[in-house]
Amino acid sequence: MFKIIEKSTPSIKVNKFVIEAPEIAKKVLPGQFVILRLDEKGERIPITVADKDIEKGTITLFIQEVGKTTTKMGTLKNGDSILDIVGPLGVPSHIENFGTVLCIAGGVGVAVIYPIAKALKEKGNKIISILGARSKDFMILENEIKKISDEFYITTDDGSYVQKGFVSDVLKKLIAQSPGKPVADIVYAIGPVPMMRVISDITKQHNLKTIVSLNPIMVDGTGMCGACRVSVGGVTKFACVEGPDFDGHLVNWAELVNRLCVFKTKEKESLDHHCKLDK
Amino acid sequence: MEKIPRQKMPVQNPQERVKNFSSVALGYSEEQAILEAKRCIQCKNPTCVKGCPVEINIPGFIKEIANKNFTAAAKILKDKNNLPAVCGRVCPQETQCEIKCVLSKKSDPVAIGRLERFIADWERKNSPMSLPAKDSVEGDVPNLKSEILNLRSKVAILGSGPAGLTCAADLAKLGYEVTIFESLHTPGGVLMYGIPEFRLPKDIVHHEIDYIKSLGVKIKTNMLVGKIKTVKELFDEGYKAIFIGTGAGLPQFLGIPGENLNKIYSANEFLTRVNLMKAYKFPEYDTPVNIGKRVAVFGAGNVAMDSARVSLRLGAEEVFIVYRRSEKEMPARLEEIENAKEEGVKFHLLTAPIKFIGDENNNVIKVECLKMELGEPDASGRRRPVPIKGSEFTIDVDTVVIAIGQTPNPLLPKTISDLKIGKHGNIIVDEVTGATNIPGIYAGGDIATGAATVIDAMGAGKRAARAIDEYVKSKK
């Protein structure tokens, strides 16, 4: 059992959990994830680790309420427990001194990019961050990212905060402002699939190497089931053991989008079932 | 005296059983078991034992059944086999012990597997107290051949499938302090995620694992060694030896166009969803599985038969096994092929897929295939399938399961520097001892041999336990 030490709701539909998991805290590196199972009948869901505290023996997860498990997690309180957590899983993000790194994140992807950006900053990189959210109430980890950024931009889809638009608008502007010179040495883009796809399309035109973090459907997370297969550069990769980070210019986005939809109807059925039980 | 015929196994009727996940085979009654046991002629030099990878005293336990001493029979069985209820259900006895039975020369061999199953089931129901005391290695554990020398020596077992469980149990019986590290949330490995409930009920696996725990074996779940800990760290923590039994959990795909279309599963994914995560009870259980009306399963081993039979139970209307050779070459157990046929699984033999075709939503709707004929034998000794030119045809499908085998999962071996790995990703070991090229590290089961049987993995676990005991003693 893994005890929840602290639970809060930093944005609409996004819950933050600080969970006692000392062994995982000791080992997890930026970019890696865990798979949790809430209870005996629960499914296994992969979640990237946003932060850790080795001394306190905790890991921090930001979990957006989408399906049954994540919605049910929203009802958990301090002191409650999660039945199973396995990790760290996946290959850690590649951290080195590239020079300037552009960190682009949207929605709950901000929680995924946070430990990566922090590690990149510690390696001496200049960090330019662009964060996006649907509206002000959906923004997470703004101050934390701002603190480690040399340049910092925010957009909201509805204009309720700072600047109306998408992260891609800011990216285009930065590229336009820097003619003849690459805006960064490498780009990390993490967020909803459509966002990562758009960013990758833009950076490809400008030859800016772009790393994305993929979130396909997974079951075991150890390379055993192959549910998470993605085509990268025409080759099938298992995101759980060969990712989750991949070259955004090589990902077959259409296939990923389709594969993510495969249980849509079932997911709704599961959520409905849960809601009925609750009533 | 009239000759006793081999006793038939009562089974659920096929029309009924395709609608449920309950056991297909129902097990012998006491009367049947005694009758069957009386068929054993108690050879002085029993050849059946030579066919058993875990060296069960087969005539010994059968004699006790014939005399109605079921407790004594169970004791003899468990002296060598830590998972008798599992083996009695999933071992290919027909190619191991039973094939060597003297009776098989003139008539049917003794149903050794069914008797094993009978005794394991009988003990579970009638004699729970025969379990050794929990968490005790020094106390009154039966079978404990502990030498003071070995007491408290720690051994780590990576993977809790048949190989790891067997190695752990045998080491515990020898007095070692054994910890199993398992990456999934439930121990059992392929017994839990791979083999369906109707062939191997999960509460039986749990029960046999409880027995192994009662020998003092600790099991840590949710621990993926290689990620949470390295093998070096385990040695630093005081483990004197390590046994790797992480299995062959890397699914093979066909490598043909369209294979990443939706509703094309590896057998591992399909079976894990259903068996481990209980997707057949969705939405009571949260993990879903999509099953269509027409399912094609590629491959013809036990895993393919399991996938096909699971598909029927999930509600598929037509299920095909598609296999590129003929029925004679099918690697599945005869019993499983027969069960599948009785339940209505159809067979497209001498047929190989070329590509999958999807609809506008990327769901698979057709598979294009070629007819094959058999040519000369290949390296495997089986006749090589050769495509017949111009024989292309398509099968309409809406769900596909690829069950053409697994290769060893490379995740852990890759994290051990200098470990000798074969060209198929298998760990290279000494066949007798399971020793790898690194002192103190042993391996066995599918990670060493590639996908094989439960009992072969158990045999490897048993031999490695013996070798580990010698190794640790030699170090003292």
The answer for residues whose C-beta is within 8 angstroms of residue A182's C-beta and 6 or more apart is A206, A207, A208
Backbone dihedral angles phi then psi of residue A86, each to the nearest 5 degrees: -115, 140
Residues of B in contact with A43 (CB under 8 A): 277, 285-288
- State the nearest Cα–Cα gap between A82 and chain B, in angstroms: 12
Residues of A in contact with B236 (CB under 8 A): none
Confidence of residue A32 (pLDDT cuts 50, 70, 90): very high
Q: Among B394, B406, B403, B324, which Cα is nearest to B364's?
A: B394
CA distance B123 to B125: 5
| Cβ-defined contact of B185 to A220 (cutoff 8 Å) | no
Q: Among B429, B430, B432, B461, which Cα is nearest to B445's?
A: B461
Please give the sequence-ordered ranges of beta strands (E in DSSP) within B344-398, or none if there are none: 346-348, 351-358, 364-377, 383-387, 393-396
End-to-end CA distance of chain A: 27
Residue written as tokens 């002085």? B44
Report the alpha-carbon angle B95-B96-B97, nearest 5: 125
CA distance B106 to B420: 47
B361: nearest CA partner in chain A: A258
Run of H or E residues at B281: none
Amino acid identity of B451?
Answer: A
Angle, nearest 10°, between helix axes B302-313 and B334-343?
A: 20
B272 DSSP 8-state letter = I
- pTM of this structure: 0.93
Given B221, B223, B260, which is nearest A229 (Cβ)? B260
pLDDT at B2: 67
Q: What is the pLDDT of residues A78-127, one digit of tens each?
A: 999 999 999 999 999 999 999 999 999 999 999 999 999 999 999 999 99
Kindly give the pairing relationship between strand A84-89 and strand B239-244. unpaired
Run of H or E residues at A207: none
CB atoms within 10 A of CB A193: 16
CA distance B341 to A239: 37
CA distance A152 to A155: 10
CA distance B476 to B326: 55
B99 DSSP 8-state letter = G
| Cβ-defined contact of B290 to A263 (cutoff 8 Å) | yes
| Cβ-defined contact of A41 to B227 (cutoff 8 Å) | no
| pLDDT(A74) > 80 | yes
Residues of A in contact with B253 (CB under 8 A): 226, 236
Backbone dihedral angles phi then psi of residue B396, each to the nearest 5 degrees: -75, 125
CA distance A167 to B81: 62
- State the nearest Cα–Cα gap between A52 and chain B, in angstroms: 14
| Cβ-defined contact of B269 to A236 (cutoff 8 Å) | no
Report the alpha-carbon angle B271-A252-B412, nearest 5: 50
The C-alpha torsion from A96 through A100 and A101 to A102, rounded to 10°, is 180
Q: Among A64, A74, A83, A77, which Cα is nearest to A4's?
A: A77
CA distance B4 to B40: 10
A67: nearest CA partner in chain B: B286
A187 DSSP 8-state letter = E
- Give B218: exposed, middle or buried? Use CB within 10 Å, 0-12, 13-18, 19+: middle
CA distance B73 to B263: 47
- Chain B residues with CB under 8 Å of a chain A CB are 183-185, 193, 221-224, 227-229, 249-251, 253, 259-260, 262-263, 265-266, 268-269, 272-273, 277-278, 282-288, 290, 361-362, 409-411
Q: What is the pLDDT of residues B8-56, one digit of tens each?
A: 999 999 999 999 999 999 999 999 999 999 999 999 999 999 999 888 9
Which residues of chain B fall short of a pLDDT of 70? 1-2, 128-151
pLDDT at B142: 45
Mutate to test the interface with B, among A224, A255, A266 (most CBs of B within 10 A): A224
pLDDT at B156: 98
Q: What is the DSSP string of B140-175?
A: S-TT----TTTTT-EEEEE--SHHHHHHHHHHHHTT
Convert B248-270 to b/e letters by CB count within 10 Å (16 or more is b).
bbbbbebeeebbbbbbbbbbbbb
B403: nearest CA partner in chain A: A225
The neighbouring-strand residues paired with A11 are: A14
Question: Region A27-34: what's the mean pLDDT?
Answer: 97
The answer for residues whose C-beta is within 8 angstroms of residue A129's C-beta and 6 or more apart is A102, A103, A104, A105, A117, A145, A146, A148, A149, A151, A152, A153
B275 DSSP 8-state letter = I
Amino acid identity of A16?
Answer: K
| pLDDT(A73) > 90 | yes
| Cβ-defined contact of A41 to B284 (cutoff 8 Å) | yes
CB A106 within 8 A of CB A189: no
Judged by DSSP in three states, A258 sits in helix
| Cβ-defined contact of B262 to A222 (cutoff 8 Å) | no
Token pair in block for residue B407: 């290769």
Run of H or E residues at B295: strand B294-298
pLDDT mean across residues, chain A: 94
Token pair in block for residue B263: 């509703």
CA distance B29 to B26: 9
